[in-house]
Amino acid sequence: MAGPLGRSGMNIRLYLRQSFMLLFGNGAAQLINLASYVILARLYAPGEFGGFALFMTVVGVFGPIACGRFDLIIQSAPDRQLPALITRARRANILVSSVLAVGSMAFGALSGKISVIEGLLVGAGVFLTGWVLTSNARLIRAEHYSVASRTTVIRSAATAASQVALAFLNPTALSLIIGFCAGFAVQALFMTRAVQGLPGPRSTRRRDRFITARYASQISLDIPTAVLLGTVLNIMNFLVLDLYSREEVGFYSMAYRVAALPLTLISGALAEVFYQKASASFRATQGFWRELKFNLLLTMSISLFIIVPIGVLAPPIFSIAFGQQWERAGYLVICLLPLLAVRLVTDSVQIAPLIMGRASWRLATQLALLGVIGLSYAWAKLFRLPIEEFVTSASLLMAAVYASFVILLASTVRRNYRGRDQRKAQTSP
């Protein structure tokens, strides 16, 4: 029996069921991650986590653009364009990851700051990220939410098992990096087997050229936006390293990872369902206000429910669960709360401007975020602020930028929705 429908045809029951299907898998993955951190924090020193965080910074910046952002278009494009989009995404992934692998290995050989193996793993991490993003987009488009959810759990379990096992052989950042790549490789394998059963006729060179020309304008804006987004999310690790030390990077990265991961997984699950539903609604009605409103109300409720306990319990939890040496990371979580609370809401709808054809909004938002981070960094360096004050100022300013983006998005989509209803009323007999 079909679930209740809104006036726009939105099936709320199906929306919630598919969202919670992804949330369940992501929640299970998060529990595995948290459990592994309790063990890993006692096997690896904070400085090693700092080194791993710097690796994750590079992968976090370049992984999302490894496929040339063609992976992002897969969910909203017409069926006839799908084969060409997949082909372009895979070719771009090979090119970007190969260039990064060669460049990182050359940097390691010339500078001695990283090993050649670590340089190679940078390319591997970026390639696996791109492969997973493309496969996940295909699964979500086909509404295979359970498969996408299961592979997330499998990745977390494989990563945790690899990192724990390698700690007994070599408790360094390299072992954490290898474990990360192993987990993604296992997920990529399972996803590849799953998407092989999906329909997908072969593309042609003519269609490949058409796809590149068709989406050139959007991609030319979205790639810089994605680079800025990755930079915004990860540059704090390098700034903390410059202002303080590699050990402080370890404390900050652990604080951000533990506190942000549950919020990121929740917003990620909701974002995938929202993008699929909003894209379908926009193709049919040229609007998606009901989907946007429902998603915003849901994420704001979840944010309030999660953020308050985190703020109260973070320091004792870090001290008890990870050891006394990690208590400082718990206080850094409190400094990050404004950012985390607003980001949960923003991340679930941050892809909406692409549906509307306004990719420049995302670019402007990332530029504003990078600007306020730079302002906080300059202030901290000039006045030699402690890390807690630096993180708090950056958190507050970034939260203000994210909130402004959500307000602009909601007001625009609602205004367009009202305008469409008024036009219908004027043309109706």
Q: How would DSSP label each residue in 273-316?
A: HHHHHHHHHHHHHS--HHHHHHHHHHHHHHHHHHHHHHHHHHHH
Give the pLDDT confidence of 282-296 residue by residue, as tens digits.
878 888 888 898 889
Contact partners, residue 195, CB within 8 Å, separation at least 6: 135, 138, 139
Per-residue confidence (pLDDT) for residue 207, from 0 to 100? 64
- Indicate if the pLDDT at residue 421 is higher than 60: no
Task: Give the CB-side neighbour count of residue 419, counting CA atoms within 13 A.
Answer: 9
Confidence of residue 371 (pLDDT cuts 50, 70, 90): very high
Percent of the chain with pLDDT over 90: 36
pLDDT band at 203 (very low <50, low <70, confident <90, very high): low
- Give the predicted TM-score (pTM) of the model: 0.72
User: What pLDDT does residue 217 have?
Assistant: 72
Residue 279: pLDDT above 90?
no
pLDDT at position 423 over 50: no
Nearest residue to 242 (alpha-carbon basis) of 108, 110, 390, 372: 390
pLDDT > 60? residue 425:
no
Average pLDDT, the chain: 84
Look up residue 274 and give its two tokens.
């929202």
Say if CB 363 and CB 224 are below 8 A apart: yes
In terms of pLDDT, which residue wins out, 152 or 201? 152
5: helix, strand or coil: strand
Tokens (6 digits) for 57:
């910074």
Nearest residue to 292 via CA among 356, 232, 197, 230: 356
Overall average pLDDT of the 329-347 stretch: 91
The answer to whether the CB of 109 falls within 8 A of the CB of 116 is: yes
Residue 428's SS3 state is coil
3-class state of residue 429 by DSSP: coil
Q: What's the confidence (pLDDT) of residue 323?
A: 85
202 has pLDDT over 50 = yes
- 204/210 Cα distance (integer angstroms): 10
Task: Give 9's pLDDT tier (boundaries 50, 70, 90).
Answer: low
pLDDT at 94 over 70: yes
Q: What is the pLDDT of residue 424?
A: 47
Element (H, E) at 41: helix 12-43
Work out the percent of the chain whose per-residue pLDDT is above 70: 88
Tracing tokens 């979205």 back to the chain, one arrives at 222
Q: Could you write out the three-class secondary structure of 233-256? A: HHHHHHHHHHHCCHHHHHHHHHHH
**How large is the average pLDDT for residues 354-370?**
86
Q: What is the mean pLDDT of residues 130-151?
A: 85
CA dihedral 59, 368, 249, 333 (to 10 degrees): -110
- The ranges assigned to domains in the chain are 12-427
Query: pLDDT band at 160, cuts 50/70/90?
Result: very high
pLDDT for the residue 304: 83
- According to DSSP, residue 11 is labeled B
- The model's pLDDT over 11-32, given as tens digits with 9 standing for 90+, comes to 667 666 766 676 677 778 878 8
Interatomic CA distance for residues 219 and 61, integer angstroms: 16
